[in-house]
Amino acid sequence: MADKSDLVSFVASMGGERSLRVEENLGEGFVRLRVAEAERRQAKHDIRCIEDIVVEMLRNARDAGAKHIYVATSREGDRRVLTMLDDGSGIPEGMQERIFDARVTSKLDSVHMDRWGVHGRGMALYSVRENAQSACVVSSGAGKGSSIRVIADACQLQERADQSTWPVLGTDESGNQAIVRGPHNIVRCCGEFALEERGKCEVFVGSAPEIVATARRWVRPSIQGSDLLFLDSLEELPVLDRLKLAADARELLAEADSLGLEMSERTAHRIIAGQVRPLRSVLSRLLHKGGPSAQKDVDLSRDRRGLRLSQGDAEEFARIMERDFSFIAERYYLSLSREPRLRVSHGRLTVSFELAEGD
């Protein structure tokens, strides 16, 4: 049995803990919480599952002005790892830890209201860190975009059991395009966000190697040619540029690791060799799901010169056309109903873009 001094110490400690949480005792069992305690409880309420973390991080990237958001996700045992890269405004070095504090925001004069509620209170990243095992800025800088990594315990913070099934796109009661079926998993969160922000930003979701391969294929570096000779390190470049400009497998592996993207050296060699296929955007995959594939759309008949596209080249060209369509899509709020169609005939290569209904 503990002696009297131990009991006094225990009671004192409980009283001390209470005083840290309570600003004022109002009587009759009512208290006024301190701000820090109220914030902590709000943060616990804001994030109920791992999918909520994904949504908050997507909204954060959007509000930073990102046009392209890459979500790398994996799970080993009970450990869920999320690494989100974007080409937004970036985070200055001196703020990379403080952005996880409560009420810290860059949106002093603006608040964003979307389907998930109010955003801009400075609570999103604070809530993420309060509910995850760890959350940190892996790499960023003013004007360089960001890479933010979150590790969560999938037993303490639940996630949907089915993380592989893609949702199904349909129309809601108002006749608008909406996700109508599928588990509320990470992919569906990304899909709902992509639909909400269509024409404003693109979202890609997949494994770390898939994200690396996709960034290498589609990112347009802000610096090229002789200007690269004056760089001391790729870390001087925007986050997404570094993956594109890595010269070989070893350098690619190092850059991926510096951005929080885990993979093996063998996988890096496969990416360099073009053996890991780049991802299509989440919205593109949703819109084109169930329709004819690029392989079926391409007419491989010979023209009079004997031109014949291989399946691989046809698919590659279709993806390039789909990416470049975003130039006009962003300006006129357009979207494709399916992949671009390629046809070779009579000395002509024709590319057709079918617009989604209502565009």
Calpha distance 62→98 (Å, rounded):
19
pLDDT given for residue 121 in this prediction? 63
pLDDT given for residue 10 in this prediction? 38
* Virtual torsion, Cα 170, 172, 176, 180, nearest 10 deg: -30
% of the chain beyond a pLDDT of 70: 74
* Virtual torsion, Cα 118, 123, 125, 127, nearest 10 deg: -100
Q: Are 258 and 233 in contact (CB under 8 A)?
A: no
Mean pLDDT by 10 residues, the chain (359 residues): 49 54 68 67 76 94 94 94 96 91 69 64 83 95 95 93 91 86 94 92 95 89 59 79 91 95 94 91 81 40 55 74 77 75 79 74
Beta-strand relationship, 202-206 and 68-76: parallel
DSSP output for 141-167: -TTS-EEEEEEEETTTS---S--SPPP
Q: Are 205 and 73 in contact (CB under 8 A)?
A: yes
The domains found in the chain, sorted by start residue, are: 42-215 (3.30.565), 291-352 (no CATH)
The three-point CA angle 334-357-299 to 5° equals 85
pLDDT given for residue 160 in this prediction? 93
Q: Are 82 and 72 in contact (CB under 8 A)?
A: yes
pLDDT given for residue 97 in this prediction? 93
pLDDT given for residue 113 in this prediction? 63
Tokens found for residue 156: 């303490």
Calpha distance 211→149 (Å, rounded):
14
pLDDT given for residue 335 in this prediction? 74
Tokens found for residue 326: 């975003």
CB contact set of 68 (below 8 Å; sequence gap of 6+): 86, 87, 201, 202, 204, 218, 219, 240
pLDDT given for residue 68 in this prediction? 95
Q: Are 222 and 238 in contact (CB under 8 A)?
A: yes
Calpha distance 148→157 (Å, rounded):
19
Closest C-alpha among 152, 149, 135, 167 to residue 86: 149
pLDDT given for residue 138 in this prediction? 97
pTM above 0.75, yes or no: no
